[in-house]
Amino acid sequence: MLSAKFIFLVMLLVNFRSLPFAWHIRVFLPVLRLRLQYYLLRLRIIFKPKKVREKIITDWGEDLCPIGANPFELMTVDHGWTTVDDTDYNGHLSNSSYAKALDGARLKFVLKAFPAFARSGGWMALGSTHFHFIREIPFLARYQIRLSIGAWDHKWMFVIARYVSFPKNRHTTKTNSDSAKPSKTPPTSNDFPRLSLRTPAEDSVTPATPGDASQVDSNLQAEQTAEAMKALAAAQTQMTEPDGAVLHCVAVSYICFKHGRITVPPGVILPCEGFSKPPPTTSDVPFSPTNPPAHWKKAQALRIAPSGNMPAFAKFLKGGWRDVPEGERWWEDALDGPIEEQRKVNLRMLDCIRKGMEATRSIR
């Protein structure tokens, strides 16, 4: 009887990450941490005057934004471990565990990149995620999931996740997702320098609209989808990570931003969060919270008193931006130039994957 209890406890211990609510705790841990910081801040300023308290809380919320960051350079890192309950019969991280681990990493990325949108009551819908498995992650190995923005169009944002690990026989530099930053990236952009998404396949023709495709066109688009995923993985494989990490998997997620049932274009949200194109070449000082881009004051004016508040900001996101005259749309100027050029190059490849997968619905 004692041995049976002991075996039962051992089984619980080795599978602790799959116990009831364990997944929920891991996924929502970044939210809980942020909430805890908020309540501790309110506790510290409880005896200050009301106006002072409001200003401190507002400044704290605004400081969470990636002010002056290049949207292609911001990256978050989530750490994982291949435990017993995550492995398959070959002793490797199972295919389903890649998706399970990505859930928490994706929420961490969203909170880092879009805090103002979340505070306004917005939420993100996941359209789909595509995985390309390159190398297995062995049992008990530690790995990282590095997320960054790949591209966006009028509706979808493409988020790229790279699963990497550090070989024991290589000299690596320990990284920290909260402190390691590129030398030319503002303090709110963290972790690792961005890797270019240019590949030999970037000049391929974007497939036709799935609704107009014939059976032959659908087959062609399906082949182009597979080729695009292979090209993406091949390009990532050929690239050397700055810290010598080994790439195991590339995943592409499509997310869209929602306020209720209304879809908000990513091109409107990004500048409101503080994302910006690089400063002029004549300037040696990068954009940062202490040196914000020119449009940052306009973004803050939408949600900070006396000119704005969060309900007014939510109204702007829900469609108020359409009422702004063409020549006064500051968010378009904030991401033009090199950012817009990079977006188009990346979108040509990533959107091919989406359209190709949609075209496979007609294959029987």
286-331 pLDDT per residue, tens: 899 989 999 999 999 999 988 889 999 999 999 999 999 988 999 9
Residue-level pLDDT at 180: 36
Whole-number percent of the chain with pLDDT over 70: 80
Task: Write out pLDDT tens, residues 13-29.
Answer: 777 777 788 888 888 98
Task: Write out pLDDT tens, residues 38-75.
Answer: 999 999 999 999 999 999 999 999 999 999 999 999 99
Instruction: Name the amino acid, one letter, at 259.
Output: H
Prediction pTM value: 0.77
Which of 158-167, 262-271, 279-288 has the weakest average pLDDT?
279-288
Residue-level pLDDT at 204: 37
Residue-level pLDDT at 144: 94
Which of 28-37, 106-115, 160-169 has the weakest average pLDDT?
160-169
Mean pLDDT score of the chain: 82
